[in-house]
Structures are given as structure tokens and as C-alpha cells.
Structure 1
Amino acid sequence: MSESEKSTVSGDSSQSTPQSVIEIDNVRKEYPGVVANDDISLDIYEGEFFTLLGPSGSGKSTLLQIITGTNTPTSGDVYISGQRVNDVKPYNRSTSLIFQEYALFPHMTARENVEFGLMIQGVDKTERQRRSDAMFELMDLTGKEDRKISALSGGERQRVAMARSLIIEPDVLLLDEVLSALDVNLAKEMQVELKRLQEQIEKTFVFVTHSQEEAFTMSDRIAIMNKGKVVQVGAPLEVYQNPDSEFVAEFLGVSNIFSGTVTSVHGETVTIDTGDYTFTVTDTAQSQTPGDEAGFIVANERLNIGDEGANTLEGTIRDTIFKGPSTEYTVRLDESGEEVTVHESTGEVLHEEGTAVTVSFEPTAAKLLKR
């Protein structure tokens, strides 16, 4: 497993690796003509909020199903709390799954939904009520125990679904695109609520989403998936600032991507010729030699409008998008015709569309992509 996969929850590699609650060892899932999961290995740690992030069809929901036991791997092994669970039925695993649609029983009250799992387990009525009372208090649903599901708001239904999953005391709570059915404002509120809850109960949450915002807001670590593979694992800030590949940079939408040929290397300073421009890049993490093909990214907020940086490009503003505290500019470059995106703090005057500008960045603002 790569060092990035072994990184700690905080992203500080100097700390000892925490205890794994889920171990995925070379898991592969094949369908006729399709590889949904391609030899994936992951450790998910006890008490962390871990997110599987990727575009539709990347294999993240399949991997979640393999963890729950509703799908079986073609090869490889899954361990939960140290136990190999490949052949263990879903209801005998120490996990609980919340679906996108919540799968609540509409003919039951909120309390009956929450207590359903305990009833199946044969827990007596007094104990069920004691534990469900605690769940309603935890979820800020006290007073709504006897309401039908149809009488609850979208956020309340989600909290009922979470209470029903948590009341059986699983080691791991699995959440599959659970915010996608909510409106934008409620989804933002629930992001904060989910993270608060996870920290309060100190359970491991494994969350599946295609939303970068959801992943960045809630996660301790993120695994980015593409075409059945895990292509990068790390803390949100680590992944944002140091994407491993052009795919990750493009998917996160946080960076401008350049590529060319290395023409010289002096210490940590690399000179790259793109055919239209010559750039200098400072990067301590990569080893380059003249003649190498090299790609690098510059985060949107590290590009500046002005000629203060050592690397300068001339262009014309094509779009100006005012976002309140910040403004996003799309600049078409004169030499290459390519476009770059610049995020700047909003000043007293906005640059208008059609304005000729200079865009610049310092060599230390660039990050070389892995070859």
C-alpha cells in the first residue's frame, strides 16, 4: 500500500498509524466486460470520517456494497474489526447502511422505524424505548417520536434513518449519497450535522459522494476513485494542495494544468517549455532531468492578475463571476489560446470582460504532477 494510503487521519505522517477498523485487501469486482473495482487496498481507521469520492461509474458504491456484504468481491478480502467477512451475511456484520432514499417504512411512526432493528434482534420493549429515547435526544428529534414519516421534513427523515442505523450500535456507519436528495441549503446544514454527530459518538463513518464540497467539509480523509481504482488517498487539504495526477486536479476543479518538456534543472528549480511558454517551477518532491515530459498545476487562488510573479502570461478576461468575498476570472491566453481560472479576493473594482491582463504566479505556487 502506498504511503499516502497509510497517512494518518490528520495527514501528519510523523504520528503513529491509528487502528484500522476496515481493511480492504486487493479487492476486485468483475462483471461481464466490466471491472467495477480493480485490486483496491485501503485501511479505514477507527473513529474517522472517511469518504469515497469520484465521478459516476468510478466504483465507489460497489466498494461500499462489498463492505456491507450486499455484494461479494471476485477476489480479495475484506476485514472488519479484524474479522475476515467475505462470507459473513450483511446482518451479521458490525456495520449499518443508510441509503440515498433512506428506506424508511412509511406506515410506521418515527419511533417504530428507529426501533425496528432492535425488534428484529429480539430486544424487549422497555430496552427498545430506553435506547430509542436516547437516539431521539441525540438527533434533536424529541417530541416527534409518534409522527408518521410523511409528517417529517427531509432533514428529520434523514436523522430518523441515522437513528435507526446507530441504535443497533454498529462499529461502522455507511452512508451512500445520503445528501443528494436534499435541497442545497438543507444539504449544507446536514454536512455540519453529520460531522458534529460523528465526532460526538466517535464512530467510523464511510461516506460515498460525487460532491467535492461534501467531501472537503466533512472528511478526515478522502479516497478519490476513477475507473474502478483508488487514485489518491489523503486528508482534504493534502489532496487539494497536492493532487497526484491530472485526473485528480481536473476532478477537484481547483487547479490550472500545464504540460511540457523539462529544459533545465538547477537544484529545486525546474524549467519547463510548453511550446508557447517557458516556466520555472520550484518543487522539492519530484526528481526531473532535461528531456523529461512534465506536467504541473497551479491552484486557481495561486494565480494572480498582475505581473508580480516570476512566471507571466498575457491574456484577455473572458468571464467575470462575482461571488461576494471572491471573484472568479476566466482568462484566455494570447499565445496558446488556452484558458486559465483565477480566484481573487474581491477588490473595489472588478476586471471587466474583454480587458487585457497579465496573469502571473511564483515558481513555488506550482506543483509538479507525478509521472
Structure 2
Amino acid sequence: MNGYNVAILGATGAVGSRLISQLAQSNIPVKNLKLLASARSAGKVLKFKNEPLTVEETTPDSFKNVDLVLASAGGNVSQKFLPIAVQSGAVCVDNTSAFRMDPDVPLVIPEVNREALKRHHGIIANPNCSTIQMVIALAPIYHAFGLKQVIVSTYQAVSGAGQAAWNEMLHQAQQRLNNEAMTAKITPVKGEPHHYPLAFNLLPQIDVFEDNGYTHEEWKMIHETKKILLDDMDSPDIKVTATCVRVPVELGHGESVYIEVADKKATVAGLRQQLTRMPGIIVQDDPAEQLYPQPLTAAGKRETFVGRLRADEENPGAFNLWIVSDNLLKGAAWNTVEIAECLVEDGLI
């Protein structure tokens, strides 16, 4: 094929703008690009490889003659339009939670389970941003030493809550510096009855609460990890638990991860060796030089950074890791485009 007709659904959002730039840098031959968004965003002009493109309102007819759809416009939008796109002949890579737990939809991190793409029926799901960076680091450890338990606490940037929440946090910071009362209308969750400032604060709620006291973000991390590594979202073979916290950082999620491996002979050196060999991972782990991953230095980069590797001195076979990645790139736009690259390379479109 000389090139693909590509549509980006949700082109004007924070992830959408990055989908455009990552697609421009990819090896996917793009014949035509269609930028789709809501009616209120239609008419905006964006650039792809320095060429101006006008954003169109998304309708059922938007997907005619489209080969590939990259979607990041919200779960309800994906549920409404992606089945239509598939019926029109497109393959869709979705960056929402709409299809992640569907047993017929592959949930893919290319470096971890690329082979799952062969099972797609038109839709491939991009995992949650916090899940991606953790699982890409855990996968080589799991394959080398086995994995029994994972306990993760996240420090998630405001950009994961969207551009409006990002803007709100910056406004709150200015209010605080002006000795004014900080106002909140979005965080932690726009649709919830109570809102709290994120600037100079920590919010231990990302997404809504489930009946068991976990947030839906925590639920996603638990079950997506199992689906990606074990192909079973409810598998008991790896125990996973999570506490997800929104922090006043613009870009880049941090995660403190405690793991227990099956091989009691595993060492920090062995874990470091496996991580160093893993595509998409950069190990930054030199306490003597105060070298460790940070959101500021990870922002704008596709890789996932791992450091603070250390053995738990109280529990043989247990280790701690610190993982950081740009949540809008590897956690969203880049992983989505990377999946699309693999689909092209493997002849699955």
C-alpha cells in the first residue's frame, strides 16, 4: 500500500495534539489525515507536518475510506463511533477505557505483548497511562524471575485529568501566591459533588469510588496488569493492589512499586540487567550521584525511566522500584501510535 488514510478522533485535546505530532514522527505512510472532534471544535486549523488541516465534526460518515483510526476523545465517544469505523473497514486504536476489559479486544503494550495484536477484530485498546509504565517495567522481571505480588502507589500528574484540570491547577497556584482563596471546580473528578484544590495539595482520589473503597483508577491498574501479563483480568496468579494519588505536577506520573518475585535468588543486579535489556526502558539508578527518574526530566520523552532499585531487607525475594514516564506520550499518544506502527509492520491493517 502506498499509504494509509488515517483519522484522529479527539484531535484537539491534550492527547490528540500529541497523537498528531507522534504520527508525524512515525514510520507510518500517511496518504491522507482527517482530524475529528466535537462540533464546538470543528473549524479549528491544526498542522500535520507543517501542513494546515481543518478539524471536522465527527459523524457516522467520518470514517468512510479510513484505514486507521487513532482515538482519544473519551469513552462514550469511542463506544459510539468506533464500531461504526470498524464496520466501514477501519482498524481502531483506542486510548480510552471503553474497550479495555472486553475479552475480544487486545490490551497492548507493544514491548510487552505485541503478539496479542494478531487477535484483534478491528479495535485495539491502549492501556491506562499508569498501567503502561508499570507493566513495561515489570514484564522483564516477571519473565525472568516470576512475579507473585505487586503493591503500587502512584503520584499522577494533573495532565492525566485533562487540559481543563491542568489549567485549573495553575490558576490555583497563582491564587495561592496572591494570598487568595483557591477555587476548585474539576479535581479530583469533574462529575463528583465535591471538588478540592490540587495546587500545593495531594488528592488520594483518581476517578470515582467503587463499592469496595477502591477508585476506578486503582481497579483499572489491578485488572489491566493481569490482562496484559496473564491474558486474564481476574487471574489470581499475580496479586496486585494500588493506591492512586493526584499530585500537583504538570507532566509525568511517578510510581513507587513493591514487588515479590517467585525466584528467591533474584538480586538487584539481576533485575537491573533485565530492565536494561528491555526496549523502551532507561535505567537511572545511581544513588552516589543522586541519579533517579524525575517527572521534569521524563517530560517529552517516549521512554519509561526506572530507578531506586533496592531489595527489601525484611523480605527475601522482595524489591522496590521507582518508575516515571510522560503520561501523555508513552502513557497515551506514543503507545497508541506505536501500536499502529506494529499493525502496519505486521500486515494487520
- Smaller-chain TM-score range? under 0.3
Q: Provide the TM-score with structure 2 as the length reference.
A: 0.27
Higher-RCO chain (CA-CA 8 Å, sequence separation at least 6): 2
Of Structure 1 and Structure 2, the greater helix share is in 2
TM-score by length of 1: 0.25
Larger radius of gyration: 1
Answer 1 or 2: which has greater strand percent: 1
